[in-house]
Amino acid sequence: MMTYFMSWYIQDFLRVFSSGHFLVPEIFLLALLYIALVDEEKGVLSFWVGFIGGLLWDLRWPGVPGLSSGVYVFSVLMVRWVWFSLPSSGRTVPVFGLLLWSGHLLITFIRLLMWGLREQEILKTFVVQQAVLIPMVMLACLLYVWRMNQDDV
């Protein structure tokens, strides 16, 4: 639970610090997806935590209440469905990373659309956001590998 709380707080912290000058990385969603993938028992918890976290985000920052919560839950649901539909041999680290990254796509595009930017600025903001997101996804993959190794010992 602490992971959810801390990730939401860090994301909020960055949002306050940035004053809306750049698109903050979706750290909370990353934590949600990571836990939802590595711990199959926490599916239901991930949905409701995602729902509450998204709702709080929408209430805290200019947005439409229900939007982030809905997208968070939908992303977790889809990613989890794909991941656990795969055979054990197919659950590799690249697939894990790909799912984490693709789980962000929907919310990223919605945030970009709501940002109110012009076409060329949207692309620039997207690139910057991805430049932050991809290292975070890679870090999550490393953590996943480490966790796998720990489990195998």
| Contacting positions for other proteins (CB under 8 A) | 9, 12-14, 16-19, 40, 43-44, 47-48, 50-51, 54-56, 59-60, 64-67, 69-70, 73-74, 76-77, 80-81, 84, 87-88, 91
Please say whether the beta carbons of 32 and 4 come within 8 A: yes
Chain Cα centroid distance, residue 125: 17
> At its nearest, how many Å lie between other proteins and the CB of residue 123?
26
> At its nearest, how many Å lie between other proteins and the CB of residue 133?
20
Q: How far apart are CA 25 and CA 4, in angstroms?
A: 15
Q: Smaller CB distance to other proteins: residue 5 or 123? A: 5
> At its nearest, how many Å lie between other proteins and the CB of residue 67?
6
Q: Smaller CB distance to other proteins: residue 72 or 126? A: 72
Nearest of 132, 151, 118, 128 to residue 29 by alpha carbon:
132
Q: Smaller CB distance to other proteins: residue 80 or 104? A: 80
Please say whether the beta carbons of 11 and 25 come within 8 A: yes
Q: Smaller CB distance to other proteins: residue 76 or 133? A: 76
- Find the Cα–Cα–Cα–Cα dihedral 63, 110, 132, 58, rounded to 10°: 20
